[in-house]
Amino acid sequence: MSKQIILLVLVMSFCTCTSKIPAKSGLRYSNKTISQPEIFAEGIISTKENSEFDITFTPNGRTAFFTRRTGNEKQQLWQTKFKDGHWSHPVKLPFSTDRDETPFFASDGKTLYFGSARPIEGRPGKGKFDMNIWQAEWTDKEWSKPEPLSENINAVQSENEDWPSSNENFIFSLDNVNFIYSTMLRGSKTIEIYKTVKTGNGFSQPEKISGLFRNDKSWKYSAVLSPDGQYLLFNSYEAEDGVGGEDIFIARKSSNGWTRAKNIGKMVNTKAEESSPRFSPDGKYFFFAREVRQSPGQDGIWNIYYVETEYLDFEGIFKN
């Protein structure tokens, strides 16, 4: 697949072992057990004619936001609600008017972060393809005007700079204070995961998360934490121990940061492309996107898949 698609945007065999991630709310998106990955909300959220990926949920799990691309049109942000056991017909967010993607809805219950190609006022990009992270808030039954994050998160491309240098499109946090995001710093050759702290005036100076691979040249992006904070999951392209071009990897929290990352396993990673690891707010379900190609060498259709997290056996991955 093309590297531009990779930006959009970042398990083991069937086992009856369970993960430590708790399912707190008891909200179920299916009346059956999902022990193997299935297309999520097929025909409503995941469709045959569009590409969908990068799903996120409100804290109660009853509203979802995701990215949808139709044909060669710009991908944009969509919303759907879960009621009486069914997802509503998705509607496009009113402020999604440019190329917008990779939404993340914060635990504060009001802030939606997303990546966008829209220009930042007063900071014109001079490169060939630039994206930055924006935020909008849900206030008084309407969305606020989107605003870009601070300059130490959002780099703007200089003249002749090209993707993915100085591109930012996804940020994540469990507590709306400690955040992680990915970018390729100007002058470097690798997309890395960085951590930063939200402050009153923006964000602290980002610090790189190191040691996830022996080969530090592998790109790392679309990173999230499991709801219990014990696992870091992210995408990598053609990384060591990968299966397809783009795969999902997992690292476990350790006393000095994170362990080496491991392939999340063949239940998720296949010879196709898999990306965008995500969780339901209570950790019960694990979500990811998979691309299916009708013919080699052409971009295919992306769908969102889900599986109950316990069947991925995260603990077992690190026993091998």
Residue 11: the pLDDT is 30
Look up residue 311 and give its two tokens. Answer: 């069947």
Per-residue confidence (pLDDT) for residue 58, from 0 to 100: 97
| Type of residue numbered 225 | L
pTM of the complete model? 0.89
**Domains of the chain from N-terminus onward:** 3-317 (2.120.10.30)
Q: Mind listing the pLDDT tens digit for each residue in 217-262?
A: 889 999 999 999 999 999 999 888 899 789 999 999 999 999 999 9
* pLDDT the model gives residue 22: 42
Which residues, in sequence order, are CB contacts of 223 under 8 Å at separation 6+? 10, 170, 172, 180, 181, 182, 193, 232, 233, 234, 235
What is the residue-averaged pLDDT of the chain? 88
Q: How far apart are CA 214 and CA 11, in angstroms?
A: 21
Calculate the CA 280 to chain-centre distance: 12
Which amino acid, 142?
E
Q: What letter does residue 147 receive in the DSSP assignment?
A: E
CA distances from 116 to 75, 145, 146 (A): 10, 13, 10
* 3 state SS of 291: strand
At residue 295, the pLDDT reads 66
Please give the pLDDT value at position 13.
32
pLDDT (0 to 100) of residue 318: 96
- pLDDT by residue for the chain (320 residues), tens only, comes to 444 444 444 333 323 333 334 444 579 999 999 999 999 999 999 999 999 999 999 999 999 999 999 988 999 999 999 999 999 999 999 999 999 999 999 999 999 999 999 998 878 777 778 889 999 999 888 999 999 999 899 988 777 777 777 788 999 999 999 999 999 888 788 899 999 999 987 999 999 999 999 887 889 999 999 999 999 999 999 888 899 789 999 999 999 999 999 999 999 999 999 999 999 999 999 999 999 876 666 678 999 999 999 999 999 999 87
Contact in structure between 192 and 183 (CB atoms under 8 Å): yes
